[in-house]
Amino acid sequence: MLKTMKFVTRARQIGNYRRVVLVLFGWYVAQLVVGLVIIHLLSGSILKTMITNAATNVQQDLVYKDGTWDTSKYDADPEVPGQFRVYVVTKDGFVIDRWRPIPGYLDTSNLKQLLVYQTPQTVHTVTNQNWRVYSQAITNSQHTTIGAVAIGSYDVADDRLENTDQDLISTAQRLVAKIKVHDGAIDVSAINFHDVAFDTPFQVVDQYNRILIKSDSSNSLDTLPDYIDASYIRSQLLGPTLHTIKSSQTNERFLVTSLPLRDSFNNPVGMVIIGKTTAPFINIEKGYIWFDSLASLAILLVFAGLLFSWGKTDFDTAAKKHHLLNQKYISSISFDKAASALLINDHKIAISFATNQYYMCQALFGSPKKKWEIDELLEKFGDDDSIDGWRKVYDAMNSINKKTSAYMKEKVFVTNNRTYQLNPELLKKLK
């Protein structure tokens, strides 16, 4: 029976420990989520402020008047494009600038527009630049146009137009000769940038308006005058001004904002789009999760270890005191004078020989129904009935009861009206 009670008590304690650990784990999850939400909101606010301020700067730098754009302030602005991804596009799709475009986001051209230049033409852009542009169609085996090579030369003098046109046409022909078509797809892997003069930008565009290769600066797509589908711009003007874009190549995420560009009559004439990667802020969040998880796990392990250690240390005393030996489970109790010990069931409690506690046990177990007066017990102690004699008797009883309290709930000795006796409830348990 005793072993069964120990098992039940131990199970209950383990259950309590598990509940404590679950509460601690819940606290960890809650503070992790709250901290992560706070960091995410702060990071998002900082990133939003950065790109919004950059977009506002670009918006203020660009001046539109009488159908042309003055980009001088924009070109001289040290703050942009900098670390940002920048798009500046007119309402009809002309690309003023496209700095480090996000793969898969507004990084296309307009094949239909490029095919207009199959005869060399001078293009005067809305930014007051003059270009000589030529394009050559790319066809498949059925002679269907599936793309184009576009090539240009900047600010060509009138007396050099004929020679420039010949150079543009011959260069475009060399590029087309190196392009292969496989199952309707354009393969530009054989094109070598060194085959084209540095000051002669080109690009290859497929039938889906995708720019397959270009020779502009390593960051900007648009040294060569270029257009994108105007419907993209209209959708951006009508869409949300703040949204997240994912790179089609790396799955990297960017927070992007857009602001309209307006003329003096407040009519929209274009838009500026600014984006910035969220990777540094995501790394901060990941770092927080790792640090917080490791720190919290360490604290949980230490606390759990202490909790179970305390539980193991206190188990026997707590179990015996609160669960094991109440009156129902006490089968026998006695005092062994020879062994100088109290015996409760199979437990042996040592009582020092020839002490007040020893003589008290000897007397009260010797006459278990007798109510002993203080002077009688002092006589057993071999002590005079002094002024503090009652204290010696009380202290002896109290010390014995403390020793037995580790094994049973009831007190072994009780006092009433300055008399002492064996607990009447234990008389039936005497052995």
Is the pTM value of this prediction over 0.75? no
Which pLDDT band, with edges at 50, 70 and 90, does 328 fall under? confident
Rounded average pLDDT over 113-140? 93
**Which CATH architecture does the domain made up of 331-429 adopt?**
Orthogonal Bundle (1.10)
Secondary structure string (H, E, C) spanning the chain? CHHHHHHHHHHHHHHHHHHHHHHHHHHHHHHHHHHHHHHHHHHHHHHHHHHHHHHHHHHHHCEEECCEEECHHHHHCCCCCCCCEEEEEECCCEEEEEECCCCCCCCECCHHHHHHHCCCEEEECCCCCEEEEEEEEEECCCCCEEEEEEEEEECCCHHHHHHHHHHHHHHHHHHHHHCEEECCEEECCCCCHHHCCCCCCEEEEECCCEEEEECCCCCECCCCCCECCHHHHHHHHHCCCEEEEECCCCCCEEEEEEEEEECCCCCEEEEEEEEEECHHHHHHHHHHHHHHHHHHHHHHHHHHHHHHHHHHHHHHHHHHHHHHCCHHHCCCEEEECCCCEEEECCEEEECCCCCHHHHHHHHHHHCCCCCEEHHHHHHHHCCCCCCCHHHHHHHHHHHHHHHHCCCCCCCCEEEECCEEEECHHHHHHEC
Q: What pLDDT was estimated at residue 321? A: 47
47-92 per-position pLDDT tens digit: 999 999 999 999 999 999 888 899 889 888 888 777 899 999 998 8
End-to-end CA distance of the chain: 19
pLDDT at 315: 45
Q: From the CB of residue 301, how many other CB atoms can be counted at a distance below 10 Å?
A: 10
pLDDT in tens, 288-313: 888 877 887 787 777 767 766 665 55
Phi, psi dihedrals of residue 413, rounded to the nearest 5°: -120, 145
Residues 34-58: what's their mean pLDDT? 90
Label residue 368 by pLDDT band (50, 70, 90).
very high
Q: What is the mean pLDDT of the chain?
A: 85
273, pLDDT greater than 50? yes
- C-alpha 154/C-alpha 193 separation (Å) is 18
In this prediction, residues 402-415 reach a mean pLDDT of 90
154-167 residue pLDDT tens: 989 989 999 999 99
pLDDT of residue 308: 63
Q: How confident is the model at residue 309, as a pLDDT?
A: 66
pLDDT computed for residue 13 by the predictor: 54
pLDDT over threshold 80, residue 4: no
**The tokens of 364 are what?**
């009260």
User: Looking at the predicted structure, is the pLDDT value of residue 7 above 50?
Assistant: no
**Domain boundary assignment for the chain:** 1-90+237-324, 109-227, 331-429
| Residue range 405-425: mean pLDDT, rounded | 91
Residues 6+ apart with CB under 8 A from 361: 335, 342, 351, 400
Residue 421 pLDDT: 94
User: Which comes out higher in pLDDT, residue 32 or 113?
Assistant: 113
Q: Residue 116: pLDDT band by 50, 70, 90 thresholds?
A: very high
212 compared with 296, residue with greater pLDDT: 212
What is the mean pLDDT of the segment spanning 342-360?
Answer: 92
Burial label for 168, CB within 10 Å (0-12, 13-18, 19+), is: buried
Average pLDDT rounded to a whole number, residues 388-402: 91
Residue 418 pLDDT exceeds 60: yes
pLDDT of residue 318: 45
Look at residue 319 and tell me whether its pLDDT is greater than 70.
no
Q: How confident is the model at residue 215 (pLDDT cuts 50, 70, 90)?
A: confident
